[in-house]
Amino acid sequence: RARWGDAVPPGFVRLSVGCEPVEALWQAIEASLDGIGG
């Protein structure tokens, strides 16, 4: 939301999911965290 000028607190994480198999979601989350060093 920061890109639209809304106040976003430090450490805020936005998580958006759809109707995917749960394993695919976990893989995507893990890959994203690995990409940021989490």
First-residue to last-residue Cα distance in the chain: 22
pLDDT for the residue numbered 30: 93
What tokens appear for 7 in the block? 């106040």
Instruction: For 1-38, write each residue's pLDDT tens digit.
Output: 556 677 878 888 777 767 888 898 889 889 988 988 75
* Domain spans, the chain: 9-35
d(CA 11, CA 3): 16
Predicted confidence at residue 38, as pLDDT, reads 54
* pTM attached to this predicted model: 0.47
